[in-house]
Amino acid sequence: MHELGITRNVVAIVAEAARGRRVRRVTLEVGKLSGVMSEAIAFCFDAVVQGTPVEGAVLDIREIEGRARCAACGIEFATKTLLTPCACGCRTLVRLQGEELKIKSMELAEAA
């Protein structure tokens, strides 16, 4: 259950970048193959933001589907899991997307 620590990192990074301004929205990109559950981050978020400039912010999580390129035949395809092989049978893949763990943006209340 590493999502609590991950959520703490999110809030710490956003709170620091906000430099005292109130945060209205936090947008994350979480790859479906990243090993992190979006639901668990959302669950921890409300608890972790208490007493920070991020308190009350809306959490927006964009999940990113897995995609890979086959090292043998070069075809790009969707990888539903880490075990999805290429149609040619090859399992040596270059992961293109789906492992993101990123804070994309934050929306701040503008200083008057």
Partner 1 sequence: MCGQCGCGGESEITLLDPQAGRETAMAREASPGDPHEHVHADGTRHSHAHSHGDHGDHPRGDHSHDHGHHDHGHGHHHGHDGHQPHRHDHGGVRAPTVVVDLDAAILSKNDALAAKNRAWFAGREILALNLVSSPGAGKTTLLERTIRDLRQTLPLLVIEGDQATANDGERIRAAGAPAVQVNTGTGCHLDAEMVARGLMVLKPGVGSVVMIENVGNLVCPALFDLGERAKVVVLSTAEGEDKPLKYPHMFRAAQIMILNKIDLLPHLDYDVARAIANAHAVNPAIKTFLLSARTGEGLASWYDWLRGEAAAARNAAVG
Alpha-carbon distance 72 to 24, whole Å?
46
Alpha-carbon distance 25 to 6, whole Å?
17
Q: How far is the CB of 76 from partner 1 (least distance, A)?
A: 18
Position 72 contacts partner 1 (CB under 8 A): no
Alpha-carbon distance 47 to 28, whole Å?
17
Q: Treating both helix axes as pointing N-terminal to C-terminal, what angle do 3-18 and 38-48 enclose, rounded to 10 degrees? A: 50
Burial environment of residue 103 by CB neighbours within 10 A (0 to 12, 13 to 18, 19 or more): middle
Among 78, 87, 92, 96, indicate the residue that binds partner 1 (CB under 8 A). Answer: 92
Q: How far is the CB of 28 from partner 1 (least distance, A)?
A: 7
Position 20 contacts partner 1 (CB under 8 A): no
Position 58 contacts partner 1 (CB under 8 A): yes
Applying CB under 8 A, the residues found at the interface with partner 1 are 1-15, 17, 24-25, 27-28, 35-36, 38-40, 42-54, 58-63, 81-83, 85, 91-92, 101-110, 112
